[in-house]
């Protein structure tokens, strides 16, 4: 029974109609939850049926809770989580299991003595439910693999961007603090300008007035164009490689690994 529960909760294998039906049901429920969360913020929509939104939230949380309990219970079927205690604990710390827990936790916190005044803020964690789609969305899985494969390069690029932002804010602070003491009152205050300029957004609410500030701003803006192109190029190349790898895997026999393109028709 445990193995069958595990198979139903996992992404449906070919021919498993029950598991496929459960996948469709869960994806639909997650989508409806996101829609309900969005509509709740529209006051006229919420006032039409406040009890319906509360009822739907309760039913959804109960379904997600049962799903989470069964996932933890059946996780020992997997070779990675064989131990009844430590195996389940390691499964509960897995990224997707943490997402499952965060999707239901805000509902139960008020019953555990959490201050109700903070409950409205905790309800924002319901947006985490959209990440539950990661089990069923090939696009989200592809994005996760791409980011994981290029983690060191992205961290290096982010580090360079942070250093450049701090350097830009520091230079503009010393160049503009006398001319604009309000806008450039400190280096942290100047970071707003640095972020807007380096990201090429340039809102225009803060801009340099001195000749030195304008010269620095021109150089920093040009650097920003190049620096923000780096992660774009890294991710773009990684997506192409991952898509090619996925296509190549689909063209191999799942049993012997032989390239099916080389097989005679």
Domain 151-262 has CATH 1.10.287.70: yes
Can you tell me whether residue 63 is helix, strand or coil?
helix
DSSP state of 252: B
Q: In degrees rounded to 5, what are phi and psi of residue 16?
A: -90, 95
Longest dimension (CA), the chain: 78
What is the pLDDT, as a whole number, of residue 195? 82
What pLDDT is attached to residue 62?
92
- Which class in CATH covers the domain with range 2-136? mainly alpha
Distance between alpha carbon 158 and the CA centroid of its chain, in Å? 17
From the first residue on, what is the mean pLDDT of each consecutive set of 10 residues in the chain (265 residues)? 83 80 87 86 86 90 91 87 87 86 80 56 63 69 78 83 86 86 83 79 73 86 78 81 74 55 50
Q: Please state the pTM of the whole predicted model.
A: 0.62
Locate CATH 1.10.287.70 in the chain.
151-262
Q: Which residue ranges does the chain devote to CATH 1.20.120.350? A: 2-136
In this prediction, residue 202 carries a pLDDT of: 62
For residue 13, give the DSSP letter: P
CB-based contact 109:144 (threshold 8 Å): no
Q: At which residue do the structure tokens 């026999």 appear?
A: 253
**pLDDT for residue 265:** 47
Instruction: Please give, one letter per residue, the 3-state secondary structure of 190-235.
Output: HHHHHHHHHCCCCCCCCCCCCHHHHHHHHHHHHHHHHHHHHHHHHH
């Amino acid at each position: 029974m445990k193995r069958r529960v595990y198979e139903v909760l996992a992404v449906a294998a070919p021919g498993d109609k029950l598991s496929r039906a459960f996948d469709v049901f869960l994806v639909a429920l997650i989508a409806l939850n996101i829609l309900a969360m969005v509509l709740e913020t529209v006051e006229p929509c919420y006032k039409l049926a406040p009890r319906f939104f509360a009822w739907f939230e309760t039913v959804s949380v109960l379904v997600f809770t049962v799903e989470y309990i069964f996932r933890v219970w059946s996780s020992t079927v997997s070779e990675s989580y064989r131990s009844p205690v430590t195996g389940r604990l390691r499964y509960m710390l897995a990224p997707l299991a943490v997402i499952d827990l965060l999707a239901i936790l805000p509902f139960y916190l008020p019953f555990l003595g959490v201050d109700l005044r903070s409950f409205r803020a905790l309800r924002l964690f319901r947006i985490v439910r959209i990440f539950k789609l990661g089990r069923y969305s090939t696009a989200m899985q592809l994005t996760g693999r791409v980011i994981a494969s290029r983690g060191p390069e992205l961290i290096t690029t982010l580090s360079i961007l942070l250093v450049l932002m701090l350097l830009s804010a520091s230079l503009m602070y010393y160049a503009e603090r006398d001319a604009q003491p309000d806008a450039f009152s400190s280096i942290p205050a100047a970071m707003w300008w640095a972020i807007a300029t380096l990201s090429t957004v340039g809102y225009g609410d803060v801009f340099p007035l001195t000749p030195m500030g304008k010269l620095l701003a021109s150089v920093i803006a040009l650097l920003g164009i190049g620096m923000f192109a780096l992660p774009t190029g890294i991710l773009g190349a990684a997506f192409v490689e991952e898509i090619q790898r996925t296509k190549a895997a689909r063209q191999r026999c799942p049993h012997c690994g032989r390239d099916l393109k080389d097989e005679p028709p």
